[in-house]
Amino acid sequence: MNFFEKLLSDYDFTLDKKGVSGKRLASRLAALSEIGLTPDNGSHRIGFSHEEKAAKDLVKQWMTEAGLTVTEDGAGNVFGRLNGNNPDLPALLSGSHVDSVPNGGHFDGPLGVLAALEVAEAWKQTGFVPERPFEVVIFSDEEGARFNGGFSGSSSMIGEATREELLPKIDIHGDSFTKVLEDIGLSVDDFFNSKRDLKQLEAFVEIHIEQGKRLERAGVPVGIVTGIAGPCWLIMTFTGSAGHAGNTPMDDRRDALVAASQFIYEVQALPAQVSSSAVATVGKVDVLPNGVNVIPGEVRLTVDIRDIKKETRDQLVDLVIEKAKAITEEHGIELQFEETLREAPVPISKDMRQKLEKSVIAQGIEPVYLPSGAGHDSMIVGHVLPVAMIFVQSKDGISHNPAEWSSLSDCVQSVHVLKDFLEGYDR
């Protein structure tokens, strides 16, 4: 059974209404899945690659067929515009990205783009014209697999991308940012002149798979995002004394790994002290000298700290540092730490959440609120515009993996929620 057939195998065709077609959405998800398809049946379309460009070009063709006016900016962001009854009003935007992590899944990003396009298709079929302009957007390089960064397209659209940050970057193949752009027909000057006139934009709403298990456990197809967590990354170095594993008594050791291990274990209890949505993860550990018969003299580790509120996120950062200091002091170990990232969380406004709640209820779905622990283009756009996010149930919470899956019925229900939200935005 191929990807298209699997999507349709358990689809509830009663959801085909008001111009929305599950089969059309499935066929387009399947068509995009073929671009950059890996031997594991995953997606490999890293940012600013020819595969990402091919996926954009295919969606641009569908946008044109749906009656949208298609433009592309200097960062490779694609916009399909429907002017609406009053083209002078600021536009509502919806979409996501089509790039992927290496050997990723087929829903992360493309679903948000194709769901927004499906709304435009439904309007074309039913003859509905929105009051204000509507734009389907594809942002470039959301995942950041190419330059270990991400959100390049959305950052350029709002004017936050800088030459100082991006021009020194070297990609995974050893190529410069400038060369990578030129290889796909873009230029540095155009990239940094891609800022939109924000007065012409009203708000951005994004559909995305949850990448977690909350909606699956709740038994609902979609959820309303309350906020997008802002990450803070700490690199911590625990320094003790390396020594011979056989000749150094247990009571005369300064084992950096023992201290680091205690820290790693105790970090997991800290997030609950600040909020129910906070998280902290030690995801990378380097042990030096890393010998079988050598007491570890140094351990370098990373701590990823996130929450949807800045105050509690920053409070958790302080708790993590305090815990590390206390443990290293207890073990006679030296501590050094460096902060390499601190991104502001983006709360979703009460007004936008209430608008989504009405649209969810209108589909006969029980509203479920949940935070987004992962970053999205909405996090970047949310720096300057009101944003909203609709999460779609993820099977087993798997993401960034060929096994990533959301049922077509759940995907189509998200389209109906988005469509109702857009149609009722100004009511």
Q: What 8-state DSSP symbol labels residue 252?
A: G
Cβ proximity of 210 and 223 under 8 Å: yes
* Contact between 309 and 371 (Cβ < 8 Å): no
Judge if the upstream peptide bond of residue 289 is cis by omega within 30 degrees of 0.
Answer: yes
Hey, what are 373's tokens? 């622990």
Is there a contact between 60 and 78 (Cβ–Cβ < 8 Å)?
yes
What DSSP character marks residue 222?
Answer: E
Note whether 230 and 345 are within 8 A (CB).
yes
Give the whole-angstrom CA distance, residue 209 versus residue 188.
Answer: 32
Q: In what order do the strands lie in the sheet with 230-239?
A: 279-288, 298-307, 230-239, 334-342
Read off the amino acid at residue 119.
Answer: V
Q: Please tell me whether 331 is known to bind a ligand.
A: no
Distance between CA atoms of 200 and 264, rounded to whole angstroms? 48
For residue 70 the two structure tokens come to: 């298609």
Q: Is 329 annotated as a binding residue?
A: no
Residue 106 annotated as lining a ligand binding site:
no
Is 97 annotated to bind a ligand? Reply is yes
Q: Which residues contact 350 (CB under 8 A, 6 or more apart)?
A: none
* Phi, psi (rounded to 5 degrees) for 299: -130, 125
End-to-end CA distance of the chain: 44
Q: How far is CA 78 from CA 98, 108, 191, 245, 317, in A?
A: 11, 17, 13, 59, 37
Pair 382, 346: CB distance under 8 Å? yes
Q: Is 402:336 a contact under the CB 8 Å cutoff?
A: no
Helix ranges (H only) for 34-176 are: 50-65, 110-126, 152-157, 163-166
| Residue 108, marked binder | yes
Specify binding-site residues: 97, 108, 143, 208, 400
Specify binding-site residues for Zn(2+): 97, 108, 143, 208, 400
